[in-house]
Chains A and B, each alone.
Chain A
Amino acid sequence: MIDTTREKILSRLQTAVGRTSPSPSTTCMPIATFTAEEKIAKLKGLLEAMRAEVFLFAKENWVDGLKTILAAKQLQTLLYAPDTWIGPTIAGAWEEDTQGLPRKVAFDQVIEDSKAELFQIDAGITTTRGAIAETGAIVLWADAHEPRTLSLVPAVHIAVLEAGKIYNSFCEIIQEQNWSAGMPTNALLISGPSKTADIEMTLAFGVHGPKELIVLILTD
């Protein structure tokens, strides 16, 4: 029955479009290209306007920067994915039971076995696939190494971005990284903490997703 439904719909559509000719194809619109410094400034400005916190650290001492932020925010637990490039760094960044720093929790089980704990975690830290300067967004690329809920369920999301991976536009990152050759289970653009204006158009943050977004930009 499903099949005949499909055939019926497609045949009606075929009859309907039969008489028209396709308009020409379109591609990305060119936009202003930014220098490396401009990209960082543009991205930072737009993310901060959406109430994300953005920090710039030199590549070699970003972990110290992270520790300062974690201590200041008094977070109790930090979830991380052990198989990402930041995984081993986080794992060895501080001793367990260090005063003032959160307990580290590795996301190493399937959600079915870790759901209760996941919903209790304070913060999650992820890598990024890149970022978009034009509109101000970071790109997450969930896969076997980095779960999707890591950046969704905890109240604070910390994202680590290498400055060299900031692209001018959404279209540019799609083309340059050749996304159409293989998309992950879930690719995601994030431009700030979760928000809503559904009550009297009043902006409120942290409705269902993270209440805070912290982006660490690592510079050379």
Chain B
Amino acid sequence: MHDTGPFNFKTNIVKALADKQLRRNLKSAMDGLKVKRRAVFADADELDALRAQGEAIKRRALSRLPDLLTRLEARCTANGIQVHWAETAADANRIVLNIMRQHGAEMMVKGKSMVSEEMGLNHFLEDQGMEVVETDLGEFIIQLAGEPPSHIIVPAVHKNKDQIARIFQEKIPDTPYTEDVDELNALARKTLRRKFYNGQVGLSGVNFAVAETGTLCLVENEGNGRMCTTVPPVHIAVMGLEKVVEKLEEVPPLLRLLTGSATGQLISTYFNMITSPRRPGEKDGPREVHLLILDNGRSHMLADNELRQALQCIRCGTCLNHCPVYVRIGGHAYGFVYPGPIGEVITPQLEGIEKAGELASASSLCQACGEVCPVRIPLPDLIRRIRREGVGRGSDCCVEGYGSKRGPLEVFAWKAWALVNSHPRLNAVNNRVLAKIGSRLPRLGPLAAWTTGRSAPQFAPKSLHQLVDEEGVPHD
């Protein structure tokens, strides 16, 4: 991550909220994406049916994951694709490095891949002396700026064109300052064409991997993904192990849900289905294709019937666009690869509660994320579950760091609350006392933290019980 200090969510949030430019950039982009999504899913019944279908396909695939992965591997191998398995990001990075070294490669052209972000692949390869070139326009911009993506789909969404113009002028040799989007685009095209031409290895992610045919599917608009997977002599595809589906005919509904939710498109410009390296007689395409299947905590998530639902995610980013918290603070504040509601559920599971459990607090539980999720992941429920994991008692559960946020003061406070609210007399005394001194309680400890961003509650002079006793309730 570009912030070198330890992750401090509160500091990040305060910083992001104070950045007016960031908030303007985010708001206009997210509003636009929401409007486009609504337009493409104008038929509510059709959307409901599609979401139910998408959910069923992913749930079924997850319930048969080892079988489907074994079949995918067998099909890919029969097609001439070399399959690799990696437990951790570090293992995956080493596999990629070895493939590059076997080919004497020094330069990689890269299509957009969130898994490669999860691996920290760019930094790893650069430390080994390799040149890594991000070719998706948004990724290219933030790579020049030395930043991680701030959104799953539109990685440079936090930047406006003035900022991008300055980055291009500074980082691309002989480039004049221009805010014209078409000119900026042409600059990127010219710069990256040379890279595609010379790239020795191309790397891509995978949106869906089809077990029955051994086909790797890639969704994109720019053509850089096709370049990375077609022009260099070696193609490496990296995928999280949850990306597999059983049948080719399960792909159309997922594709429709993905492009509609992500960018409000009926279909992306390109939908690329790769089934093998160059076959005899073919004049182009990579001579080698490698598929790297990464676990990195996913098999652990699968073990819990509730949390497993996060693995249904097709990485469309629409929960980010609809999240009132994300829209105000942007992706960088979340401090890890996956921001927004889905990040709040995935990251604490990947990194542990102690390190990242606080992310689950970044939700008002307004339910928007759950309502828009194309594969019906119950995100608000899972966010609450992560919160519960943090304060749970005992050690019988599955998220690392279970119970680590449980504090004696909080336990005492809730016990006292339960006591007061289950004994009427105690409750009456409590209410009378609070009515007198509640507003004058010193802002200390948790109360101080709680009131930094909120108004302190005003206690009414009389409780509801008292008012009802005195005035009665009118019955019609």
Chain A interfacial positions (CB closer than 8 Å to B): 2, 5-6, 8-10, 12-17, 19-29, 46, 50, 107-111, 115, 119, 132, 135-137, 142-144, 147-149, 152-153, 169-171, 174-175, 179-180, 183-202, 204, 206-210
Contacts and interface: CB of A to CB of B under 8 A. Distances in A.
The listed residue with most B CB atoms (<10 A of its CB), out of A20, A132, A136, is: A20
B384 to A, nearest CB: 22
Nearest to B289: A185
A187 B222 contact: no
Contacts of B276: 185
Contact of A183 (B62, B189, B266, B273): B273
Given A28-B252, A196-B221, A208-B196, 15 more contacts: A12-B299, A12-B302, A17-B65, A19-B305, A25-B60, A108-B283, A144-B283, A174-B252, A186-B273, A196-B222, A198-B156, A200-B28, A202-B161, A207-B224, A208-B226
A193 to B, nearest CB: 7
Given A10-B70, A185-B285, A198 B63 contact: no
22 contacts: A5-B85, A10-B70, A12-B300, A14-B66, A17-B63, A23-B59, A50-B269, A108-B283, A119-B193, A137-B271, A148-B284, A149-B230, A153-B231, A185-B277, A187-B215, A188-B272, A189-B270, A196-B221, A197-B263, A198-B137, A204-B182, A204-B185
Nearest to B52: A26
Contacts of B231: 111, 149, 153
Contact of B248 (A10, A148, A180, A185): A180
A201 to B, nearest CB: 5
A29 B230 contact: no
B236 interface: no
A209 B222 contact: yes
A129 B250 CA distance: 20
Contact of B223 (A23, A147, A198, A207): A207
Interface string B32-71: 1100000000000000011001001101101111100110
Contacts of B223: 152, 194, 207-210
A183 B136 contact: no
Contact of B161 (A6, A19, A200): A200
A186 B289 CA distance: 12
Given A24-B56, A201-B33, A179 B248 contact: yes
Contacts of B396: none
A20 B63 contact: yes
B302 A16 contact: yes
Nearest to B91: A5
Contact of A142 (B60, B224, B263, B285): B285
B279 A144 contact: yes
A190 B270 contact: yes
B373 interface: no
Given A17-B62, A29-B253, A148-B284, A198 B154 contact: yes
B85 A207 contact: no
Contacts of A170: 251-252, 255
A103 to B, nearest CB: 20
Nearest to B227: A208
B28 A201 contact: yes
Nearest to B284: A111
B222 A207 contact: yes
Interface in B176-208: 181-182, 184-185, 188-189, 192-193, 196-197
Interface of B: 25, 28-29, 32-33, 49-50, 53, 56-57, 59-60, 62-66, 69-70, 84-87, 91, 135-138, 141, 154-157, 160-161, 164, 181-182, 184-185, 188-189, 192-193, 196-197, 212-213, 215, 221-224, 226-227, 230-231, 241, 247-253, 255-256, 263, 266-285, 293, 295, 299-300, 302-303, 305, 308
Contacts of A109: 283
B192 A208 contact: yes
Given A24-B56, A208-B135, A10 B69 contact: yes
Nearest to A183: B275
Contacts of B213: 179-180, 183
A148 B230 contact: yes
Contact of A46 (B87, B221, B255, B266): B266
Given A13-B65, A22-B64, A206-B189, A186 B230 contact: yes
B85 A193 contact: no
A135 B266 CA distance: 6
A9 B185 contact: no
A30 to B, nearest CB: 10
B283 A196 contact: no
Given A27-B249, A170-B255, A199 B161 contact: yes
A184 B135 CA distance: 26
Contacts of A136: 266-267
Given A135-B267, A185-B274, A185-B278, A207 B70 contact: no
A29 B46 CA distance: 10
Contacts of B283: 107-111, 144, 147
B34 to A, nearest CB: 12
B319 to A, nearest CB: 18
A184 B303 CA distance: 36
A198 B84 contact: no
Contacts of A202: 161, 181
A201 B154 contact: yes
B135 A13 contact: no
Contacts of B227: 152, 208-209
A8 B69 CA distance: 13
Nearest to A211: B189
B241 A9 contact: yes
B382 to A, nearest CB: 17
Contacts of B269: 50, 190-195, 209
Contacts of B193: 119, 208
Contacts of B87: 5, 8-9
A191 B256 CA distance: 13
